[in-house]
Amino acid sequence: MSEHDKHPKTYFFFVGDDRYETELEIVTGAYVKSRVPNLPPGSGLQLDGQGNDPDLPFGDSDSVSLEIGHGNGGPRRFTVVPPATFG
């Protein structure tokens, strides 16, 4: 195997319409939020369902594989949930 064959695999995910790349196959909610610039403090995430799967809350310690295929469907998509406002 040559040095050119050894570069790490790149995975990607979307937050809204923005694409993010990473060398991590499995990411947590905290990691995803850390990649989003200017994320308002207290914001949450939702993991968008694939096909007929429902959208699910995605906490900081929740994790998901970014591997595509083998029943995982297309790329993972997240939606930012703004912090709750009370008053």
Of residues 8, 5, 37, the one with CA closest to residue 20: 37
Of the two residues 5 and 67, the one the predictor is more confident about is: 67
Nearest Cα residue to 47 out of 37, 9, 68, 33: 33
Contact 62, 28 (CB under 8 A): yes
Q: What is the pLDDT of residue 2?
A: 52
pLDDT higher than 70, residue 21: yes
Phi, psi dihedrals of residue 29, rounded to the nearest 5°: -60, -40
Pairing relationship of beta strands 26-28 and 18-22 according to DSSP bridges: unpaired
